[in-house]
């Protein structure tokens, strides 16, 4: 899928670009651009930079400005101010750890396509009521893993998920084989020791392995 920098993405387009969306925690703005370039070199362009550190917004700004082939998003969006700050920094999509109508409305008003986090049937129904059908299942492995996704496929056959939380190279394939899983989210593509050491070649190699993972036909 070609991503036009001026194109307004949909959540399903974010999910469809690659089998894995890396979940990125950055503590140093100097790491943001080389990390993004390393992931893009491996074929991974949808990058979720989590708002878990004071440097996160500056990192999003740097990637948006200096890595045009990346599509940077903001994770851990919990408030309207998070959504506004992420959009102002150049984020192209948002990811939340849970869902409320308030956060859904805030992201729409900020022009930020949202992957809302859900862990229960009631949360899925709340997101569906507000028009969201592409959802993040979080924390996936702790909340039921593949078994829960299989159970949800019956009542929620119109929903696609991005399981995140406890996902690794070892279990990603099982999740991606499920018909209601469009992609997975994981931090294993950007190990902290590699980022700290500037091990960009290692990260590119991990991205290439992730890009090669097979998904079920949707």
Active site residues: 48, 136
Q: Side by side, which strands form the sheet with 134-137?
A: 117-118, 134-137, 160-163
Three-class DSSP category at 135: strand
State the Cα angle at 39 between 11 and 9, rounded to 5°: 20
Contact indicator for 147, 141 with CB cutoff of 8 Å = no
CB atoms within 10 A of CB 16: 17
């Amino acid at each position: 899928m070609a991503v036009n920098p001026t194109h307004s993405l949909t959540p399903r387009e974010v999910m469809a670009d690659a089998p894995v969306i890396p979940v990125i925690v950055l503590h140093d703005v100097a790491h943001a651009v080389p990390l993004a370039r390393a992931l893009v070199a491996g074929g991974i362009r949808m990058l979720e930079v989590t708002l878990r550190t004071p440097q996160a917004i500056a990192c999003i700004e740097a990637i948006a400005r200096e890595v045009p082939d990346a599509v940077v998003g903001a994770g851990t969006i919990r408030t309207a101010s998070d959504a506004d700050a992420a959009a102002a920094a150049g984020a192209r999509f948002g990811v939340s750890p849970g869902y409320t109508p308030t956060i859904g409305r805030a992201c729409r008003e900020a022009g930020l396509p949202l992957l809302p986090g859900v862990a229960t049937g009631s949360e899925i129904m709340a997101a569906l009521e507000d028009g969201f059908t592409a959802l993040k299942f979080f924390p996936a492995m702790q909340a039921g893993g593949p078994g829960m996704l299989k159970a949800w496929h019956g009542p929620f056959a119109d929903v696609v998920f991005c399981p995140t939380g406890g996902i690794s190279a070892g279990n990603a394939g099982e999740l991606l084989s499920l018909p209601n899983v469009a992609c997975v989210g994981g931090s294993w593509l950007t190990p902290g020791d590699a980022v700290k050491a500037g091990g960009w070649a290692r990260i590119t190699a991990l991205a290439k392995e992730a890009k090669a993972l097979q998904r079920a036909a949707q």
